[in-house]
């Protein structure tokens, strides 16, 4: 069986001879070293000229060090202000835990108390985690997307060979198995995704299963077939729409709770599928972000495109 393209690229990168990670031409053009002066002319300070790129690089280094120093100071200050372990002044009973356990079902409506805490009581924090996934996928796309500046002839040749093997249909066993397994895996992922308020699971677990199903489809049926229904535009649209939906729902919940207003979103009957208010749509939004992020990582690390 032919070694996958992504594994060969990773192996070359680990060994330090990957041409795909060479410095872009635009950067090299701006950093061409000056021609050395003739031996009879001493190299003095007057011949050393700082370019704008050098000044910008120095400023970036100073700002990076300053940001790290400020962040470290804030973290150390936070740790210093924490209650001392075993101190007599520490609270004996944590009112927050009691509130979650005793009032979680009534206030949120989900029988899964862990989901109540993660998606509602600490929903703003979970929204930040979803934004981290979005930024991670965007950063990988910007750094690894194949273009004329970071793709060599060898990489293009390997991609063509990889596509030829996909079209040749040599992996017939995998295709027949994926034809049966892929719908089952996707259905199971949707089940885990939509039942997080009733049982263990939710957006992160269900989204991981859906992302794995997309990766299985690409390995079995080829990149071009998956791209017909899931490409970069579709992935970006899904991630942006899901994050906006999550932001609207969690901001509404925080605003209503902070101002003592009545929540207009019905909680439903605890234990039923259509219950727990905003938790079900939030789980779907988080799951879609996770699925798109997983497949994006796989696609960009393997082919440099989605």
Supply the DSSP string of 147-177, one letter for each residue.
Answer: -TTT--HHHHHHHHHHHHHHHHT--HHHHHH
If one compares 85 and 245, the residue with the highest pLDDT of the two is 245
As to burial, measured by CB atoms within 10 angstroms (0-12 exposed, 13-18 middle, 19+ buried), residue 209 is: buried
Could you tell me how far CA 207 lies from the centroid of its own chain? 12
- Cα Rg of the chain (Å, integer): 26
If one compares 261 and 180, the residue with the highest pLDDT of the two is 180
How many Cα atoms occupy the beta-carbon half-sphere of 276 within 13 Å?
Answer: 28
pLDDT band of 277, cuts 50, 70, 90: confident
DSSP-derived letter for residue 94 is -
Tokens of 303: 């082919």
Helices (H), the chain: 5-15, 25-30, 52-80, 95-107, 113-116, 123-144, 153-168, 172-194, 203-221, 223-229, 232-258, 279-302
**Least confident interval from 36-40, 73-77, 155-159, 293-297:** 36-40
**Least confident interval from 45-49, 124-128, 172-176, 254-258:** 45-49
- What number is the average pLDDT over the span 90-100? 76
pLDDT > 70: percent of the chain: 81
Residues in the chain, overall count: 306
The torsion region of residue 109 among left (phi > 0), alpha (psi -120 to 50) and beta comes to left
pLDDT > 90: percent of the chain: 25
Please give the mean pLDDT across all residues of the chain: 81
pLDDT band of 111, cuts 50, 70, 90: confident
pLDDT band of 22, cuts 50, 70, 90: very low
**Least confident interval from 51-60, 74-83, 245-254:** 51-60
If one compares 87 and 62, the residue with the highest pLDDT of the two is 62
- pTM value is 0.67
Whether the CB-CB separation of 92 and 69 falls below 8 Å is answered with no
pLDDT band of 29, cuts 50, 70, 90: very low
Assess whether pLDDT exceeds 60 at residue 151.
yes
Whether the CB-CB separation of 202 and 236 falls below 8 Å is answered with no
If one compares 225 and 148, the residue with the highest pLDDT of the two is 225
């Amino acid at each position: 069986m032919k070694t996958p393209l992504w594994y060969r690229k990773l192996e070359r990168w680990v060994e330090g001879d990957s041409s795909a990670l060479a410095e872009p031409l635009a950067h090299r053009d701006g950093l061409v070293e000056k021609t050395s002066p003739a031996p009879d002319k001493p190299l003095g300070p007057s011949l050393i000229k700082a370019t704008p790129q050098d000044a910008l690089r120095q400023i970036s280094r100073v700002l990076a060090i300053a940001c790290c120093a400020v962040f470290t100071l804030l973290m150390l200050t936070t740790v210093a202000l924490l209650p001392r372990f075993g101190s007599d002044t520490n609270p004996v009973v944590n009112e927050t835990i009691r509130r979650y356990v005793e009032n979680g079902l009534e206030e949120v409506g989900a029988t899964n108390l862990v989901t109540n805490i993660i998606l509602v009581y600490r929903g703003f924090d979970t929204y930040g985690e979803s934004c981290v996934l979005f930024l991670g996928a965007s950063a990988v796309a910007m750094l690894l997307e194949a273009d004329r500046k970071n793709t060599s002839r060898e990489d293009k040749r390997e991609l063509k060979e990889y596509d030829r093997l996909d079209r040749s249909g040599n992996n017939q066993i995998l295709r027949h198995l994926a034809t049966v397994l892929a719908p089952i895996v996707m259905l199971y992922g949707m089940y885990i995704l939509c039942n997080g308020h009733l049982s263990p699971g939710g957006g992160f677990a269900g989204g991981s299963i859906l992302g794995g199903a997309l990766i299985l489809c690409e390995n079995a049926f080829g990149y071009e077939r998956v791209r017909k229904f899931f490409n970069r535009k579709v992935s970006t649209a899904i991630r942006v729409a899901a994050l906006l939906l999550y932001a609207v729902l969690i901001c509404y919940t925080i605003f209503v709770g902070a101002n003592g207003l009545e929540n207009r979103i019905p909680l439903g009957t605890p234990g039923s599928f259509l219950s727990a208010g905003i938790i079900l749509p939030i789980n779907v939004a988080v799951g879609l972000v996770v699925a798109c992020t997983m497949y994006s990582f796989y696609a960009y690390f393997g082919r440099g495109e989605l």
